Amino acid sequence: MQKQQAILGAIAGDVIGSTYEFSNVKSTDFELFTRETYFTDDSVMTIAAMDVLLNKLNYTETYQKYGRIYSKRGYGGNFEDWLYEDNPQPYNSWGNGSAMRASPIGWYCKSIQAVMEEAKKSAEVSHNHPEGIKGAQAVAAAVFLARTGKTKGEIKEFITKTFDYNLDRTLDEIRPDYKFEVSCQKSVPEAIIAFLESSDYKSAVRLAVSIGGDSDTIACISGAIAEAFYGEIPGEIFDTVSMIVGPDLMRGVIRPFSRKYGISEKG
Instruction: Please check whether residue 191 lies inside any domain of the structure.
Output: yes
What mean pLDDT value characterizes the chain?
A: 96
Measured distance CA(132)–CA(125) in Å, rounded? 11
177 annotated among ligand-binding-site residues: no
Instruction: Please check whether residue 84 lies inside any domain of the structure.
Output: no
CATH number for the domain spanning 44: value is 1.10.4080.10
Instruction: Please check whether residue 38 lies inside any domain of the structure.
Output: yes
41 annotated among ligand-binding-site residues: yes
Q: What band does 263 get if pLDDT is binned at 50, 70 and 90?
A: low
Instruction: Please check whether residue 87 lies inside any domain of the structure.
Output: no
Measured distance CA(83)–CA(73) in Å, rounded? 12
Instruction: Please check whether residue 69 lies inside any domain of the structure.
Output: yes
Q: What band does 5 get if pLDDT is binned at 50, 70 and 90?
A: confident
Ranges of beta strands (E only) in 115-206 are none
40 annotated among ligand-binding-site residues: yes
Confidence check: pLDDT of 264 > 60: no
Instruction: Please check whether residue 233 lies inside any domain of the structure.
Output: yes
Q: Please count the structural domains in the chain.
A: 1
Confidence check: pLDDT of 265 > 50: no
Instruction: Please check whether residue 246 lies inside any domain of the structure.
Output: yes
Instruction: Please check whether residue 194 lies inside any domain of the structure.
Output: yes
164 annotated among ligand-binding-site residues: no
The amino acid that residue 266 corresponds to is: K
- Backbone phi and psi for residue 181, each to the nearest 5 degrees, phi listed first: -145, 125
29 annotated among ligand-binding-site residues: no
Measured distance CA(180)–CA(136) in Å, rounded? 19
Domain hosting residue 236, numbered range = 8-73+92-258
